[in-house]
């Protein structure tokens, strides 16, 4: 059993949502359109989806800023005896900033994106949880406290050039950083003082690397835009540290590990199409493919994933626009099994929708957006062979602005 | 009187006919442009254009001094303002000045600031040629070539903009962008030049405006033919910032031929021009 599963052996705690690739929608316009932006990308948000698109940005100097509140709730049915266990993660942060500037014949950009973020801080006590025992004795009180913080940062420059009036290419070089820390305390007490279980675990992970992205945008005919962007994270350094102290009825077992192995990340290919039907109405669709990736040191085996997004934008007037979108966030894990040694922690496919409304002046826009997602699947988060039904519900609210000079 | 009416009619038709393909082409090229980004011009935009042009004009005057001949400057303003009355920008107040340099060139800053060099005046033969050159520069202003290229707009003090500034944490970035734009405009005038299509549009508009003002429409072409044979530092800037003379002259002549302007007798006012140029040394 690898060290990582030791942390989770008593009560599996996932490291935020590592099981999906599309957890946060990024960008002012894009997030209202379900993220279907690869073939549009003609503003500061485009730096994240397809840098080739900024060639077609209409203003001279653009910037966009998004401040968003995220909330994700996971309900594990019958996880604590016959009771459900609910985990809630939330964060409030500025998750995107980008700026585009002409540079001679090129367009230069710089952006910052938080592509994943979670903050969990739970303190729960369950009395007489059904079916839970220690040393054959029923548990009278089960206390679980944990704090989990996880964030993924992308920051870096972009450069784009127009090859012909119908073809543009671009590149973004993100510097990538992932920080994760979780602290877990579990205590199970019984009617007998000497019969108890205690689990104290501490885990940190810091990864630094680069995420280069190459993008192409092509308009074979007027009003139709096709875009492709390819990217992959390459880690330059990785530090993973874990410590766990298990105490079962007075007998303590301390485990530690320190690993510098670098994770492999999947190759990501985004392809999109956008139809600029009229000056008021735009339709777009994206497909994002993530390759299969194995990280045996970390006990991870991720399957290939394809996510789909559909989006539309409609201008009610010169001053108001409405956007809507649908998106998928499919699981990157194989199906859950009863084997605690090999089963992934969860497998749930998530589906969602988004909407936003923008008001414009000549130089600026302000956008209020929201999205909701939900999914049903299975989880294996307890020791033993039990599988739990899992429901996830997520929602976000964002407020963003753009400038054009 | 009737002949004059015919000239104006031909010139007006020519101007509209020449503009139409450009407008249609612009619509096709801008299929990515969304409704909210359409051109809505307000009084603050015009004020910004004038303020911006004033800054650019100050840079031009920083490079060259004014040719201090009040009577000659007054004459150039007379010709220029006559042309300006026949343009589509009545809200602008045009100002014309002569630069004290032997370089052969003319410049225009947004907002109506037009400069012609002493060197350029020295190679002109009649008032129609002066009108053609001034009309070309006026066209750069009226067609907003610099304003569009650099997206010069007025400030936005709306509530939406205030919220955007709070959400985005922006400070006075518009001021920095303004200074950048002035540098770019000066670069366009002295180093990079306007876009080729903008120069072509300015030539065509100049011919149309000259004809509308009653001048001989061939003045600009005659002047360009004369200076096209000059070599050396006097034409260094104009060579760098404009399309080749041959192409320009051919395009102007094609347009005049197509619109029948070549056969229309416009005024050249040679005597008045020569009298005014007595101050030119």
Tell me the per-residue pLDDT of A345-368, one tens digit each, with 9 for 90 and over.
889 999 999 999 999 887 788 999
* Alpha carbons B104 and B81: distance in angstroms, whole number: 22
Are the beta carbons of B34 and A315 separated by less than 8 Å?
A: yes
Q: Which of A199, A201, A204, A296 is nearest to A241 (CA)?
A: A204
- List the single residue in A279, A319, A400 with the smallest CB-CB distance to B34: A279
- List the single residue in B32, B35, B40 with the smallest CB-CB distance to A42: B32
Are the beta carbons of A401 and B165 separated by less than 8 Å?
A: yes
Are the beta carbons of A279 and B170 separated by less than 8 Å?
A: no
* Alpha carbons B192 and B197: distance in angstroms, whole number: 14
How many domains would you assign to chain A?
1
B234 DSSP 8-state letter: G
Mutation for testing the B interface, residue in A364, A367, A404 having most B CBs under 10 Å: A364
pLDDT band at A14 (very low <50, low <70, confident <90, very high): very low
Question: Which pLDDT score is estimated for B30?
Answer: 75
Query: Which residues of chain A are within 8 Å of residue B32 when distances are taken between CB atoms?
Result: 42, 56, 58, 225, 276
Checking if the pLDDT of A245 tops 80, the result is yes
Checking if the pLDDT of A209 tops 80, the result is yes
What's the count of helices (H) and strands (E) in chain A, helices before strands? 2, 19
The residue in chain A having the minimum alpha-carbon distance to the alpha carbon of residue B179 is A405
* Alpha carbons A357 and A29: distance in angstroms, whole number: 9
Length of chain B: 281
Query: Which residues of chain B are within 8 Å of residue A282 when distances are taken between CB atoms?
Result: 34
The residue in chain A having the minimum alpha-carbon distance to the alpha carbon of residue B28 is A222
The residue in chain A having the minimum alpha-carbon distance to the alpha carbon of residue B32 is A276
The residue in chain B having the minimum alpha-carbon distance to the alpha carbon of residue A67 is B167
pLDDT tens track for A319-338: 899 999 999 999 999 998 88
Rounded average pLDDT over A147-157: 93
pLDDT tens track for B14-69: 444 444 434 334 444 578 888 766 556 667 788 888 988 999 999 999 999 999 99
pLDDT tens track for B109-159: 999 999 999 999 999 999 999 999 999 999 999 999 988 887 777 766 666
Q: What is the CA radius of gyration of chain B?
A: 20
Mutation for testing the B interface, residue in A44, A60, A67 having most B CBs under 10 Å: A60
Are the beta carbons of B31 and A313 separated by less than 8 Å?
A: no
Contact residues of B toward A, CB < 8 A:
28-29, 31-38, 40, 42, 45, 150-151, 153-156, 158, 160-161, 163-165, 167-170, 173-174, 177, 180-181
pLDDT band at B174 (very low <50, low <70, confident <90, very high): low
Checking if the pLDDT of A385 tops 80, the result is no
The residue in chain A having the minimum alpha-carbon distance to the alpha carbon of residue B162 is A364
Nearest chain A CA: its distance from B163 CA (Å): 7
* DSSP 3-state percent helix, strand, coil across chain B (nearest 5): 65, 5, 25
DSSP result, A28-56 = TTGGGGTT--TTT--STTHHHH-GGGGGG
Are the beta carbons of B168 and A313 separated by less than 8 Å?
A: no
Checking if the pLDDT of A255 tops 60, the result is yes
pLDDT band at B108 (very low <50, low <70, confident <90, very high): very high
Rounded average pLDDT over A234-256: 91
pLDDT tens track for B213-247: 999 999 999 999 999 988 888 888 888 888 888 89
The residue in chain A having the minimum alpha-carbon distance to the alpha carbon of residue B188 is A104
Yes or no: say if B213 and B85 are a contact pair by the CB < 8 Å rule. Answer: yes
Supply the pTM of this predicted model: 0.72
Rounded average pLDDT over A40-48: 92
Question: Which pLDDT score is estimated for A251?
Answer: 86
Percent of chain A with pLDDT over 90: 58
Question: Which pLDDT score is estimated for A104?
Answer: 76
* Alpha carbons B31 and B25: distance in angstroms, whole number: 10
Are the beta carbons of A58 and B36 separated by less than 8 Å?
A: no
A382 DSSP 8-state letter: B
Question: Which pLDDT score is estimated for A195?
Answer: 82
Full residue range of the structural domain in which residue A300 is found: 3-404
The residue in chain A having the minimum alpha-carbon distance to the alpha carbon of residue B152 is A405
Are the beta carbons of B167 and A400 separated by less than 8 Å?
A: yes
Query: Which residues of chain A are within 8 Å of residue B38 when distances are taken between CB atoms?
Result: 279, 318
Q: How far is CA B90 from CA A88, A327, B46, B141, in A?
A: 64, 52, 11, 12
Question: Which pLDDT score is estimated for B29?
Answer: 54
- Secondary structure element (H or E) that encloses residue A224, with its range: strand A224-232
Q: How many CA atoms lie within 13 A of A205 on its CB side?
A: 20
Are the beta carbons of A402 and B42 separated by less than 8 Å?
A: no
Are the beta carbons of B36 and A315 separated by less than 8 Å?
A: yes
Checking if the pLDDT of A75 tops 70, the result is yes
Nearest chain A CA: its distance from B239 CA (Å): 21
- List the single residue in A276, A280, A404 with the smallest CB-CB distance to B31: A276
pLDDT band at A78 (very low <50, low <70, confident <90, very high): confident
Are the beta carbons of B177 and A399 separated by less than 8 Å?
A: no
Checking if the pLDDT of A4 tops 50, the result is no
Are the beta carbons of A365 and B40 separated by less than 8 Å?
A: no
Question: Which pLDDT score is estimated for B99?
Answer: 96
Yes or no: say if A70 and A76 are a contact pair by the CB < 8 Å rule. Answer: no
* Alpha carbons A332 and A345: distance in angstroms, whole number: 11
The residue in chain B having the minimum alpha-carbon distance to the alpha carbon of residue A281 is B34
ipTM over 0.95: no
Nearest chain A CA: its distance from B73 CA (Å): 36
Are the beta carbons of B168 and A403 separated by less than 8 Å?
A: yes
Question: Which pLDDT score is estimated for B47?
Answer: 86
CATH of the domain at A100: 2.40.160.60
pLDDT tens track for B194-207: 888 889 999 999 99
Are the beta carbons of A403 and B158 separated by less than 8 Å?
A: no
pLDDT band at A162 (very low <50, low <70, confident <90, very high): very high
Question: Which pLDDT score is estimated for B37?
Answer: 61
Are the beta carbons of B36 and A222 separated by less than 8 Å?
A: no
The residue in chain A having the minimum alpha-carbon distance to the alpha carbon of residue B40 is A362
Outline where DSSP puts E strands in chain B.
95-99, 106-109, 113-117
pLDDT tens track for A96-130: 999 898 887 899 999 999 998 888 888 888 888 88
Q: Between B115 and A85, whose confidence is greater?
A: B115
Query: Which residues of chain A are within 8 Å of residue B45 when distances are taken between CB atoms?
Result: 362
- List the single residue in A59, A65, A280 with the smallest CB-CB distance to B169: A65
Question: Which pLDDT score is estimated for B168?
Answer: 65
Question: Which pLDDT score is estimated for A8?
Answer: 42
Query: Which residues of chain A are within 8 Å of residue B33 when distances are taken between CB atoms?
Result: 58, 279
pLDDT band at B5 (very low <50, low <70, confident <90, very high): very low
Name the 3-class secondary structure at A160. Answer: strand
Percent of chain B with pLDDT over 70: 79
Rounded average pLDDT over A164-179: 95
Contact residues of A toward B, CB < 8 A:
42, 56, 58-61, 63-65, 67, 165, 222-223, 225, 276, 279-280, 282, 313, 315, 317-319, 321, 359-366, 399-405
């Amino acid at each position: 059993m690898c060290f990582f599963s030791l942390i989770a052996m008593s009560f599996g705690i996932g490291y935020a949502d590592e099981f999906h690739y599309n957890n946060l929608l990024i960008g002012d316009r894009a997030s209202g359109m379900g993220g279907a932006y690869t073939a549009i990308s003609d503003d500061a948000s485009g730096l994240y989806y397809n840098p080739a698109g900024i060639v077609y940005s209409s203003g001279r100097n653009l910037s966009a800023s998004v401040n968003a509140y995220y909330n994700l709730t996971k309900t594990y049915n019958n996880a604590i005896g016959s009771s459900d266990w609910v985990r809630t993660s939330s964060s409030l942060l500025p998750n995107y900033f980008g700026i585009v500037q002409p540079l001679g014949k090129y367009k230069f950009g710089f952006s910052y994106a938080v592509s994943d973020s979670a903050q969990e801080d739970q303190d729960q006590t369950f009395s007489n949880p059904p079916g839970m025992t220690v040393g054959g004795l029923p548990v009278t009180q089960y206390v679980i406290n944990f704090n989990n913080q996880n964030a993924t940062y992308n920051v870096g420059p972009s450069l784009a050039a127009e090859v012909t009036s119908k073809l543009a290419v671009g590149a973004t070089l993100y510097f990538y950083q992932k920080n994760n820390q979780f602290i877990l305390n579990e205590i199970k007490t019984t009617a007998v003082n000497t019969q108890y279980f205690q689990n104290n675990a501490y885990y940190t992970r810091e990864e630094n690397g680069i995420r280069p992205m190459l993008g192409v945008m092509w308009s074979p005919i007027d009003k139709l835009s096709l875009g492709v962007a390819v990217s992959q994270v390459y880690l330059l350094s990785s530090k993973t540290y874990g410590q766990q102290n298990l105490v079962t009825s007075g007998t303590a077992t301390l485990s530690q590990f320190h690993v510098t192995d670098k994770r492999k990340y999947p190759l990501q290919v985004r392809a999109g199409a956008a139809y600029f039907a009229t000056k008021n109405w735009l339709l777009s669709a994206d497909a994002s493919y993530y390759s299969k990736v194995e990280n045996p040191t970390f006990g991870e085996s991720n399957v290939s994933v394809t996510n789909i997004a559909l989006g539309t934008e409609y201008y009610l007037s010169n001053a108001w626009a409405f956007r809507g979108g649908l998106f998928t966030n499919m699981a990157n894990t194989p199906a859950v099994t009863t084997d605690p040694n090999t089963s992934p922690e969860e497998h749930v496919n998530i589906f969602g929708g988004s909407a936003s409304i923008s008001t414009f002046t000549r130089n600026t826009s302000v956008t209020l957006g929201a999205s909701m997602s939900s999914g049903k699947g299975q989880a294996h988060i307890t020791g033993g062979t039990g599988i739990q039904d899992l429901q996830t519900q997520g929602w976000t609210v964002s407020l963003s602005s753009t400038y054009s000079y | 009187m009737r002949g004059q009416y015919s000239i104006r009619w031909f010139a007006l038709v020519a101007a509209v006919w020449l503009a139409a393909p450009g407008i249609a082409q612009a619509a096709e090229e801008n299929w990515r442009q969304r409704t909210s980004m359409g051109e809505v011009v307000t009084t603050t935009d015009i004020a910004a254009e004038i303020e911006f042009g004033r800054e650019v004009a100050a840079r031009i005057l920083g490079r060259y001094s004014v040719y201090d001949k009040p009577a000659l400057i007054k004459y150039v303003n007379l010709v220029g303002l006559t042309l300006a009355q026949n343009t589509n920008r009545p809200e602008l107040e045009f100002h014309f000045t002569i630069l004290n340099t032997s370089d052969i060139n003319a410049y225009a800053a947004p907002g109506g600031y037009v400069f012609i060099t002493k060197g350029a005046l020295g190679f002109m033969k009649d008032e129609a040629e002066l009108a053609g050159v001034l009309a070309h520069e006026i066209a750069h202003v009226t067609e907003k070539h610099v304003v569009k290229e650099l997206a010069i707009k007025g400030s936005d003090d709306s509530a939406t903009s205030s919220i955007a500034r709070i959400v985005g944490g922006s400070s006075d970035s518009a001021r920095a962008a303004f200074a950048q734009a002035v540098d770019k405009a000066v670069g366009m005038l002295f180093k990079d030049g306007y876009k080729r299509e903008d120069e072509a549009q300015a030539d065509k508009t100049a011919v149309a405006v000259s004809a509308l003002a009653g001048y001989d429409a061939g003045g600009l072409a005659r002047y360009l033919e004369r200076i096209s044979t000059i070599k050396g530092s006097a034409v260094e800037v104009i060579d760098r910032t404009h399309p080749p003379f041959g192409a320009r002259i051919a395009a102007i002549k094609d347009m005049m031929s197509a619109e029948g302007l070549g056969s229309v007798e416009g005024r050249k006012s040679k005597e008045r021009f020569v009298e005014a140029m007595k101050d030119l040394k």
